Each structure stands twice: as C-alpha cells, then as structure tokens.
Structure 1
Amino acid sequence: MPAPFPDAAFDTHADPQATSAVGLPGLRHRLSTRIISLSLISLLVVLTMIGGTLWLSWNLEGAGAAINDAGSVRMHANAVAIELTRARAHQPHALAPRIAQLDETLAQLRRGDAKRPLFLPAVPVIHDQLDRVARAWDERMKPLAEQDINAPDGTPLAYVAALSDFVAQANQLVRMIEADNARKTDLLRMSQAALAAIACMGTVAVIYLLYLWIILPVLTLQDGLRRMAAREFSLRLPVTSRDEFGTLSTGFNRMAAELQELYRGLEARVAQKTAELARRNRDLETLYDIAAYLNQPNEAEALCRGFLTRIMRRLDADGGSVRMLDAVPENLHMVVSEGLPAALIEQEQRMAADACHCGAATRQRVVTWPAPPHAQPSPPMACGFGGFAAFRIDTPRGVIGMFSLHFRSPRVLNASDRQLLETLAQHLGVALEHQRLSATARQLAVVEERNLVAQGLHDSIAQGLNYLNLQAQLLEEAVSRGALADVAAIVPMLRCGVDESYQDVRELLLNFRTRLTQGELRQAAEDTVARFRRQCATEARLEVEGYDNARPLPPDAQLQVLFVLQEALSNVRKHAQAGHVLVRLRGGRDLELVVQDDGEGFDAAGLATRCEMQVGLHIMRERAARLNAQLSIESAPGRGTRVALRVPGAHVSGEASEASEASEASEANEINEMSLQS
C-alpha cells in the first residue's frame, strides 16, 4: 500500500498548463464508472459461484434419489424370488405386482424425474451400466421368473440361481452413482471454500481500490486545504487521474494560483480602498457641513461667503469668488471673493459673462485649468495663479451664477472632487433660490395684508369720511345761506360721523394688533364677544361645542377666523340694529363659526351687485378664501342675518352633517327665545 502523502503530492512546481482548464472528465474516466464496473464484476463473480454451488447441490439431490431407486432394484428382485417360492408352495403371492414395480423402477431411472428431482449423473459408464441391468432383467431374469412359475413342483428355481449375478450388476450401478456423487460433494466443498476465499480477497481488493480512488485523494485535498488555510498559496496538487478528483485537483490549483495572484496586491488594494473610503468620508462630511450651513437663515452675501470659505478650506485653494449673473444684460457681478488681488477684484467687479474663461462655466457647467486629460486646454491664469476651477450654479429656473477656486500651483481636480463641487454648487443654487422665494413670499404677504388694510379703510373710514365731507358741504352751504336751523341739524350728524369714524379706527387698530398662538382661539372669541357687549346694547351670547377635543388650527388660520368673527360682529353693530346675536364655535373634524342676529337683514339676492359697498363682507370672503373655507351669508329683510364659516380639517361624516343641520335649525329658535326673554 502506498504512503498516504507521497512526496510528489505537493509539488509546488507543477506544470501550469495542467491546471489551465477545469472540465468534467470523460465517461470512461469518471470515478463513478470505475466504481460501477467494479461492483458489476464482483456481482457477476459472486452470482457465478453461487449458481455453480446451486447446480452441484441440485445434481447431488438427483443422484441421491437415483441411488435410492437403484438400491430398490435389488429389493424388488429379491421380492420376486420370495413370491416365486410362495407360488411353488401354492401359497398366496403377488408376483405380478412385484415384477411391475421393478419394471417401473428401471423405467424411471432411465427417464429421470425433475420434480423429485431424480436423474442419473451425466456419466456415460453409469448409463451403460443401467442399460446392462435393464437388459439382464428384460432378457434373462424376467423370462426365468415366468418360466419358474409354470414349472412342475420340485423343479429347482432358475430365477433364484441367476439372481446373484443380477444383484451384483445392480450393486455395481449403485456404487458407480455413489462414486460420482462423492466426487461432486468434494467439488461443492471446494467451490464453497473458493467462494469464501474470493469474498475475502475481493473485500480486500475493493477496500484497497476505494482507498486509492477516494480516500487518498480526499486526504490529499484535505491536507492541501489545511496548508492553503495557512496561506501557503504556492501549493499545487498533482493531477494524477482524469476522474472527478483530477478535476477537483485542477480546480484547486487554479484557485491557488488566483489566490496567490490576488494576495500579492491585496495590501496595496486595501491601502487604496482605505484611502478612497477616507476621501469619501471627507466628501460626505464636507457635503453635510455645507448643506447644514446653507439651511441656516442668512443674507445672500453671508451665505455665499460662508460657502466659499468652507470650499476653499476643504480643497486648500488660495483664492476664490462667487459671481451672480444679471438677466439683462448678461453680466457677472462679484458677490464675494477671498484671496484675490485687489486689482483683479476691481477689474472684474462687473463684467460680461463671455469676457473671461471663468464666465464660460455658465455655459459649459465646469471649466478647469490645467485641463484634465482629453479636454480642451485653456490659457494660463494671470495674477500669479497657476490653476483654477469654475463651476456653474444652477436652479430650477436656470443658471444664476458661478463660483471659482484659484490655486497658486497647477492642479488638476480628480473626478471625485469635481463631482463634489458640482453637487455643492447645486446646493448653493437651491439655498439662494429658497432665499429668493422666501423674500418674495414675505413681500406678497405684506402686499396682501396692505390690500386688506386698504379694503378695511375703504369699507369703514373712507365711507365715514365721505359722509363727513358731504355733511361739511351741506354745513358750508347752510352757513352761507344763514340757515341756522339747518346748521343746528347738521352739527349733531357731524359729531355722530366723527364718533363712528373714531370707533372704526380703534377697531382696525385692535384687529391689526391681534396675535394668536395655537390653542387661543376660544379665549380670543370670548374676549371679542365681551368687547362687543361693551360697545353696543345688543345682547350677545357665545356657545362653544366640542372645541376642547378638536384638533387645533395653526395660529395664522386661527387669526383669520378671529378676523371674520370681528368683521361679522362689526357689521351687526353698525348695520343690523339687532336686539340679540348668537355666536357659536363648534369643533370637530371641521371648525365651524356661526354668527346669527335678529336684526333688519338685507336682500341677499342684490348683494352681488353691490357687495363692495357692504362693510366688511368683501374682506370676510377674502379671508375665507385664504383659509380654503366655506363662507355662507343668509339674510332676508326683517328676518336677520346668518354668517357661517366652515374651515375644513377632514371629510365631514354623515352624523356630523346631520348634527350641523340640526344646530342650524336650533340657532333660529335660540334667537327667537332670546327676543322673547328680552
């Protein structure tokens, strides 16, 4: 048996071409083919040996039956002699049946019987001896028996005289069969011994072959993996067969070669990946720092200066600038600059976008010098700078400017730095655009509030002043005519008009100073109703339903709702001449404000044609539109007025709608009850 690990098993100088290709072995070289072939051969040998022993056993069994029948020939022959003696003595006898039995025994020995089994050995001398015994019986013994039975009394029996020779021939047949049977018995024993020997040798051979084919290659691969785990990458296994283990050895050698090649540059690649990861972390840190800075509220100049300072510190730039683009004409004006000579700042404070190479970034997105490989070269920088990079600042509405970095020594930005700077330029553009939109939103808010102030002045104080102007003209005319009675009648009207204008001014000032935080609407409504009670004799009542459990509105929305309530109560005080007014504030998924009085009312159908002449109604509609709310005004002459404001917070359920309709029906009843009580 060979050694488990021969010296050649780990040849580190194996032919590389032997491991260049890994493929499946051919059918006749496969390990499975060899194992199946060995199993089939072993099975065939065992089956042959077993078949031989079975054949011998069957022959021995048939020969044993033949010995018994051959021995019975002697018994039947002697029985015939006995029956002849009885017949000569005139005693009962069975001679004929005895002769018939002997005939049948000889015939059965001749033809054999496979069922018993019974057959003579396939030996010619045995069959010849059987023929001699059969002829002796048929030609001599049987006729003698028939002759003796008919012979006179006292005559010697010829059959008995010839019986000894016949029995001797039968005995010879039995001995010949027994000799052949003994020979086959010895052969059977030899076959069994040979089968045992073959089984032992076959087992040893199978174990040895399986060791050579399977166990030894597995041990070789196992040791190779152990040495490979110890980083012995120069290890190569010999490919000594073309079976599956040969394929595994070839694959192992190929893997070892690739691992050896990979391990050679592993440290360099690890250092490269570590440096790349550190660079990416710096980029992410820079991106996060600048993005956080740009999200802070700052003026445009401070925003650009902080952005430029951080970019220069990150890339070790010696100078930089941020320039904005004018729409008409297309000029660049410098917003901030760092590290640039004063002469250059003065010269390029405002210039055309196409007058310098930095301005080309507004059209080409990125301009650098020295140029990266495969790019168009740019002319050298002036003012002592050997390199620069300019990046375009984009916004959703277009290009708004660019920023540039200047370097004393020539420097080419890598792809990562270029991508980082492009991303930061987009962040700066978004921040500047957000600042512009915020300023525009503040301007629009101021304009809208001024519009509301103008409408309030027009609908209240302007009408009062117009009324005073008309009364002043009438007073001047009455004085010129000397009509003292008319003067006495006009002066109280003037005083009343001045008082109403003064009250309007105080009410407008109070509305303008009103400020709410989240959750103060209920208290503000109570204060507004209480102030209304102090200003006029109209009885007012405030009812709050489900407001404490409702989702509060934002402060600006609450303020608009309060303004609508103030306008509605102001209209009741000025125009309704009501005795009672009910204010209901209902919370829920929708906020609902209802102001209902029992005053004179007005024609709602004609309101559309003269709505701008009505005090506060136009302002209330604008405030409702700002809230995306529903404002309804229901009125009829002599039946009072109902103002309802619904601010949507979610979809109104069916139960809420029914409750709303029921509350509207009850409001009129409550107003009537208040009138009756007063």
Structure 2
Amino acid sequence: MGIRIPKLFKSLSTRLLCLTLLWVGFIVSSIAWTMILNWELEASSAAKAAVAELRTRAYQSAYATQEMFDGKMLEVEFSRTVRLFRTLHEGDAWQPLELPNEAGFTESLDEIEKLWRTEVQPMLLAARNTRTDVDGALISRYVEMVSGLMSEIESWRGGYLWQLRYLQILLIVLAIGSLFAIELLLLRWVIRPIGALGEGINRLWSGDLKARVSVGSEDEIGRIAQGFNRMADRLEDFYENLEQKVAEKTASVEEKNRHLAQLYEITSFFSQQRSLEELTDGFAERIVRYTEADACLVALVDSKSEYVNIAASCGLNAVTLQRSASISYEDSVCRTVIKKNYPVRIIFAEDRRMLPTVLHEAGFSTGYCFQVRSTSDCIGTYILLFREKAELSSQMIQLLESFSTHLGVAIDNERLIDRDRQYAVIQERQLLAQGLHDSIAQALSYLNLQVQFLTDAINHKDDALRDESLKAIQTGVQECYEDVRELLLNFRERLHNEGFLQGVRTVIDRFEGQSHVSVRLKATGDGPKLTPREKLQVIFIIQEALSNVRKHAQASSVTVTIDNQADLTVSIVDDGVGIDQALVEERRSQHVGLSIMSERASRIGATVDVERASPLGGTRVTLHLPAASRQIC
C-alpha cells in the first residue's frame, strides 16, 4: 500500500508554505543558537576582564597604603573591589557580563572574595594604619587565585569557541543540503509540471489540437493541466463543428436582432398618443406578423365587474368574433391565465370550455394566451391562434410577455391621459362657473331686483322711482357687459407665451382701461423664475384682486408690489373705502372671489391674506409663496 497523503498537503500552495516555514524556522533557530553562543562568549570575556581587574585593584590597594597617599584613596580602591565582586556575582545582561553558569566558577569566586574580606583587606588596613610593609606573600597568593579563575574562564571559553565553530560548519552543511532538497522539491512540484504545461501550450499554439498534458498531481498545477485538457477538447470540438456552430450562432444573432427590431417597432408604436382602439388593433396586427400566427384576439377585463370586452382581433371572421364576445368571464380563458399569472398553452381539441370550443370549430388547433399587465394589475389577455400545432421558443415567449407589458402600460397611460383630460375640462368648468357666479350672476340678480322696482313704479305711476330704476338698470347692464368682456379676455389669454412681469402689466393695463384707476407697479428681487403653473395662478390672483377693487373699493389709485426673493410676496393695496374684516369673515364661504383666490393659491402651495390697509381705509391683498413650495426649474 502507498502512503496516503492528507488532502491538505495535496495543495501546492500549502506544501510551498510549509516548506517556506520549515526553511525560515531552520534559519531563525540557527541564528538564535549562534546568538546565544556569542552572548555566552561575550559575557564570559567580560567576566574574565572583570576578574583581571580584581588583580589590578589588589595591586592598587597595596600601593595606596604608602605614606604619600591619604586614606581616601585606599577606601576608593576597596569600594571598587566590592563593586567588582557584586557585579561578578549578579552579572549584567546588558553588557553582557556573566560568569559561566557552572558551580566551580562560583565557588572559586567565593573563595577569592572570602580571602579578600578576611585576610587581604584587613592586612592592607593594618599596613596603612601602622605604617608597616604590606604582606607580599598574601598578595601573591590572592593574585594567583585570581589568575587561576581567569585561566578557568579562558579554558571554558575555548570549549565554547570550538562548539561555535562546529555549529557554523554544521549550519553550512545543512544550508547546502536544504538548498539541494528545496531545488529537488521545486523541480518535482513546480518546474517539471510547468514545463510540461508550457510544452503542451506550444503544441496547441502550433496547431496540434491533439496536444494534451498528463495530470500527475491534484494540486493547483494539476487543476490547471486539467483545465488545459478541457480547453483543448473544447477547441478540438469547436474546430470539428465550426461550420455548424457558426450557423447556429448566426441564426441566434439574427433572431435576437429580429426580436430587437420588433421590440423597437412596437415601443415606437406605443410611444405615440393613440386611442384605445388604435392601440389594440395595431398591437394585434403586429403580433400576428411577428409570430406568423393565423389570428390574434385581444380581450380587456374589468377586475371589479369581471366583464370581458373583446378590444381587438386579427384573422378572425365576424361569426367567430361574435361568438367569442358573448362568452362570460367565468367560462373564458382569461380567468385561467389571470389566476395562473403566466402564459398558458391550450390545445383546443382537449379543452371543453366555451372559448376553446368556439375557436376549435373555427379551425384553430393551438393557442398561446398571455396576460396584459399594467404597472400594478392585470387588465386583460391576448391569445395567439394557430391552425396547425405550433411550438414557441422560450425567447419568443419572453418577448411576447414583454410586448404584453408594453401594451398594458400604453393602455394604462391612455386611460390616465383621458382621465386627466376630463379632469381639466371639469376644472375649467368650475372656474367658469365661479367667474360667472361672482360677476354676471350677481349683476343679473341686481337687475332682476331693479326690474321689480321698475314694475312697481310703473304700476304706481311713481316717475322718480321709475327714473331711478331705469338708471340703475342701465348701470347694471353696463357693468354686466364689462364683466362679460373681462371673462372673455381671461379665457382667451395665453400666459405661457409672455413673461411674468409682462403678463402682470397686461392685466394692469386692462384694469386701468376699464376702471380709469391708476396703478403703480413695483418689482424687486432676483429670485428664481416662476414655473408656467405658478405664473398662471399668481397672475389670476392679481387679476381677481384688481377686479374686486374695480367693483367694490371706489379707489382712485392702486399699488402692486412684487418682491421676488427666495420667497415670492405680491401685495395689492388700494386707497378705497376699505374692507370690513368682521363682515368678510362672516361671509367668507359666500364670497366667491375670495374663495377663487384661496383655491388658486393652494394649488401652488401659497397663501392669500385680505385685510384693511389702514384705519382710514383701503384694502391690502397679500400673496405669499414660500421657497419650500416653489418648483424651481
């Protein structure tokens, strides 16, 4: 049995990492061992020097006992000797300095220190104090002991030096051997496999599609070799079936291009504003042409009443179309497709529902039914009809689903546009009704009252009342005529064709021509321009305020102030009789003019305030459009 290699070590990167870690560990441990030996040698060398200094200190101490030196010199030498003994005992790792870590060296140092403390140092003190000669024999014995310790240290250092030399030789041998081992491993793991892979690539590049690389391992290079072999197999297969694959790819590209052209055509068709009938009829015709189907039936569903409406058809005769339109929602195919929420293929001969039966009797065999979805809901279905058995590809089905979504969005947009159009008509009618009520209706009510007065005056032959009523009727008719002209001018205006200040000036000129009241316009500020919607509403509010001045204020002058900063503030102040604030608040709901101004202001996020200009009279109408509500273009 072969050795089973763990799965982890089948990876080349793992093996190279382990090899690198081993090599680095070997180098680091060798360096660490060498550093330890060097440290020991340096420490022992420093210890030897310190021991040699003990000998020097002994001679210096003996010399200091002479009469020519004072006692301080001897004390200094004693203290230096004590420090040397302490240093030798304790060691100093930072110098480094340390006696060899063996019992014999410590014992020798203890004997030397004992001899110094018990005999040499007392003898030197006595020689100094009694002025006698130093005992040379004792000094010589002390020095011999110190020299013996130095010789022991030197001998010990010599052994360490030989050990260091042996270690260095061993490291050199191991380093050379490890290099050869690493080269052999790299040759086996990396160089030879890569060389074989490169040779296979060169053969493949030269046109040999049969080139393969033998896979001898399960590591990264082995997987690359497997990938190379699979690539070579694929290239050989491509080369042998190139013509067929080119034809397949060309057909696929042509189909995609055709689908893109169809999608672009139907998108362009839906982008133009069309009626619902035009949208559905055009869609049915194009779908039949795109799919080469025999017919198409488009049905819209009212989700609330569950009523099916046949919106368009193509390729169906009148009888079949009439029979299809009479089928209820419960019996239709639409219900099934809407519930399943995905396209459904129907074999009409196998389906017993009414619509499949009608279509089968009309000569159709197969149908594909798709949902027509708007942005939020299903609004109908369309069915592609084939007289022969047909199979649509998945790409075509996806394209047809996209077409159905485009149709649903187009129908939804057309309905929204129609709804907006109806809302705009209703809104304009409301504005027209408000204008008529605030002007002509009130004038006609006044004229009706004066006609009643005139009738009473004629019946009672009251000439004064008759003349007064006729004059009032004439004045009322004239005011009614001016109101009609003002309304006509309002409805004919095109404010978006002129600037804001120009539009305000047009309204002021017309007011001055009707009322013969002078108006002063002040415009300041360089704030953002008004949008067409804001401009329209602001000018209509100014126009309504001036109309109220003409009807009620009895003013001789008006000042219109426009301050266009970040906020827009418009003020219309007259010098007329003034407004009764309490009466305005009481009748605010009945005063159409004030209501119109408030409604127009609310549409653009503004506010309108009406107040008395001063205690003496006059009225101030203030329009305030804050910066937060402005639609800056």
Q: Please report the TM-score for the alignment, with normalisation by the length of structure 2.
A: 0.64
The structure with more helix, counted as a fraction of residues = 2
**Structure 2 match to 1:345:** 321
Q: What do residues 132-165 of structure 1 show as CA deviations (whole Å, max 9, x unaligned)?
A: xxxxxxxxxxxxxxxxxxxxxxxxxxxxxxxxxx
Instruction: Provide the C-alpha distance between the structure 2 equivalents of 1:347 and 1:402, rounded to a whole number of angstroms.
Output: 17
Match of 2:340 among 357, 360, 364: 364
Instruction: Provide the C-alpha distance between the structure 2 equivalents of 1:408 and 1:429, rounded to a whole number of angstroms.
Output: 27
Instruction: Provide the C-alpha distance between the structure 2 equivalents of 1:644 and 1:524, rounded to a whole number of angstroms.
Output: 18
Instruction: Please say if 1:261 is aligned against 2:222.
Output: no
Corresponding letter in the other structure for 1:492: K
Instruction: Provide the C-alpha distance between the structure 2 equivalents of 1:395 and 1:215, rounded to a whole number of angstroms.
Output: 64
**Structure 2 match to 1:158:** none
Residues 255 and 626 of structure 1, relative CA distance in 2, 3 Å threshold: closer
**Structure 2 match to 1:643:** 621
Match of 1:473 among 452, 460, 468: 452
**Structure 2 match to 1:319:** 295
Structure 1 residue 551: deviation in Å?
3.3
Instruction: Please say if 1:507 is aligned against 2:479.
Output: no
Match of 1:305 among 269, 281, 286: 281
**Structure 2 match to 1:488:** 467
Instruction: Please say if 1:592 is aligned against 2:564.
Output: no
Residues 217 and 445 of structure 1, relative CA distance in 2, 3 Å threshold: closer
Residues 640 and 356 of structure 1, relative CA distance in 2, 3 Å threshold: same
Corresponding letter in the other structure for 2:410: A
Structure 1 residue 462: deviation in Å?
0.9
Instruction: Please say if 1:539 is aligned against 2:518.
Output: yes
Corresponding letter in the other structure for 1:572: V
Gaps in structure 1 of 5+ consecutive residues: 1-21, 41-113, 116-201, 653-678
Structure 1 residue 571: deviation in Å?
0.7
Match of 1:609 among 572, 586, 594: 586
Identity within the alignment, %: 36
Q: 1:519·1:552 contact (CA, 8 Å) conserved in 2?
A: no
Instruction: Provide the C-alpha distance between the structure 2 equivalents of 1:574 and 1:536, rounded to a whole number of angstroms.
Output: 9
Corresponding letter in the other structure for 2:206: A
Q: What do residues 607-633 of structure 1 show as CA deviations (whole Å, max 9, x unaligned)?
A: 222024446211111111122212121
Corresponding letter in the other structure for 1:635: R
* Larger RCO (CA within 8 A; separation ≥ 6): 1
**Structure 2 match to 1:661:** none
Instruction: Provide the C-alpha distance between the structure 1 equivalents of 2:563 and 2:16, rounded to a whole number of angstroms.
Output: 93
Instruction: Provide the C-alpha distance between the structure 2 equivalents of 1:593 and 1:249, rounded to a whole number of angstroms.
Output: 82
Structure 1 residue 592: deviation in Å?
2.9
Instruction: Please say if 1:497 is aligned against 2:476.
Output: yes
Q: 2:604·2:629 contact (CA, 8 Å) conserved in 1?
A: no
> Residue 505 of structure 2: SS of its match in structure 1?
helix
Trace 1:341-420 onto structure 2 (pairs within 5 A). 341-357=317-333, 360-365=336-341, 366-370=343-347, 381-396=360-375, 398-420=377-399
Instruction: Provide the C-alpha distance between the structure 1 equivalents of 2:191 and 2:12, rounded to a whole number of angstroms.
Output: 19
Q: 2:562·2:569 contact (CA, 8 Å) conserved in 1?
A: yes
> Residue 562 of structure 1: SS of its match in structure 2?
helix
Q: 1:602·1:638 contact (CA, 8 Å) conserved in 2?
A: no
Instruction: Provide the C-alpha distance between the structure 1 equivalents of 2:15 and 2:437, rounded to a whole number of angstroms.
Output: 109
Match of 2:405 among 426, 429, 443: 426
Q: Please report the TM-score for the alignment, with normalisation by the length of structure 1.
A: 0.60
Structure 1 residue 232: deviation in Å?
3.0
Structure 1 residue 439: deviation in Å?
1.1
Residues 485 and 265 of structure 1, relative CA distance in 2, 3 Å threshold: same
Q: 1:518·1:555 contact (CA, 8 Å) conserved in 2?
A: no
Instruction: Provide the C-alpha distance between the structure 2 equivalents of 1:578 and 1:217, rounded to a whole number of angstroms.
Output: 106
Structure 1 residue 236: deviation in Å?
4.2
Match of 1:222 among 156, 175, 198: 198
Instruction: Provide the C-alpha distance between the structure 1 equivalents of 2:567 and 2:395, rounded to a whole number of angstroms.
Output: 54
Q: What do residues 441-483 of structure 1 show as CA deviations (whole Å, max 9, x unaligned)?
A: 1111111111111111111111111111111111111211122
Residues 249 and 231 of structure 1, relative CA distance in 2, 3 Å threshold: farther
Instruction: Provide the C-alpha distance between the structure 1 equivalents of 2:457 and 2:16, rounded to a whole number of angstroms.
Output: 136
**Structure 2 match to 1:572:** 549
Instruction: Provide the C-alpha distance between the structure 2 equivalents of 1:330 and 1:420, rounded to a whole number of angstroms.
Output: 28
Match of 2:600 among 623, 633, 643: 623
**Structure 2 match to 1:581:** 558
Structure 1 residue 485: deviation in Å?
2.2
Deviates more, 1:409-418 or 1:495-504: 409-418
Size of the aligned set, in residue pairs, is 458
Deviates more, 1:303-312 or 1:250-259: 250-259
Q: 2:562·2:570 contact (CA, 8 Å) conserved in 1?
A: yes
Corresponding letter in the other structure for 1:647: L
Instruction: Provide the C-alpha distance between the structure 2 equivalents of 1:390 and 1:382, rounded to a whole number of angstroms.
Output: 18
Match of 1:453 among 432, 437, 441: 432
Structure 1 residue 314: deviation in Å?
1.8
Corresponding letter in the other structure for 2:337: A
Q: What do residues 525-576 of structure 1 show as CA deviations (whole Å, max 9, x unaligned)?
A: 1122122222223221112223xx5433233332222211111111111111
Structure 1 residue 595: deviation in Å?
0.8
> Residue 523 of structure 1: SS of its match in structure 2?
helix
Q: 1:233·1:259 contact (CA, 8 Å) conserved in 2?
A: no
Residues 290 and 614 of structure 1, relative CA distance in 2, 3 Å threshold: same
**Structure 2 match to 1:106:** none
Q: 2:204·2:232 contact (CA, 8 Å) conserved in 1?
A: no
Instruction: Please say if 1:336 is aligned against 2:309.
Output: no
**Structure 1 match to 2:141:** none
Structure 1 residue 399: deviation in Å?
3.0
**Structure 1 match to 2:32:** none
> Residue 578 of structure 1: SS of its match in structure 2?
coil
Instruction: Please say if 1:283 is aligned against 2:259.
Output: yes
Structure 1 residue 651: deviation in Å?
7.6
> Residue 645 of structure 1: SS of its match in structure 2?
strand
Instruction: Provide the C-alpha distance between the structure 2 equivalents of 1:32 and 1:540, rounded to a whole number of angstroms.
Output: 99
Structure 1 residue 262: deviation in Å?
2.5
**What root-mean-square deviation, in Å, do the aligned CA atoms of Structure 1 and Structure 2 show?**
4.0
Residues 325 and 567 of structure 1, relative CA distance in 2, 3 Å threshold: same
> Residue 381 of structure 1: SS of its match in structure 2?
helix
Structure 1 residue 216: deviation in Å?
6.8
Residues 568 and 423 of structure 1, relative CA distance in 2, 3 Å threshold: same
Instruction: Provide the C-alpha distance between the structure 2 equivalents of 1:210 and 1:391, rounded to a whole number of angstroms.
Output: 66
Instruction: Provide the C-alpha distance between the structure 2 equivalents of 1:255 and 1:518, rounded to a whole number of angstroms.
Output: 71
Structure 1 residue 342: deviation in Å?
2.5
Instruction: Provide the C-alpha distance between the structure 1 equivalents of 2:14 and 2:363, rounded to a whole number of angstroms.
Output: 78
Q: 2:534·2:604 contact (CA, 8 Å) conserved in 1?
A: yes
Larger Rg: 1
Structure 1 residue 247: deviation in Å?
6.3
Residues 473 and 26 of structure 1, relative CA distance in 2, 3 Å threshold: closer
Instruction: Provide the C-alpha distance between the structure 2 equivalents of 1:504 and 1:26, rounded to a whole number of angstroms.
Output: 95
Residues 322 and 251 of structure 1, relative CA distance in 2, 3 Å threshold: closer
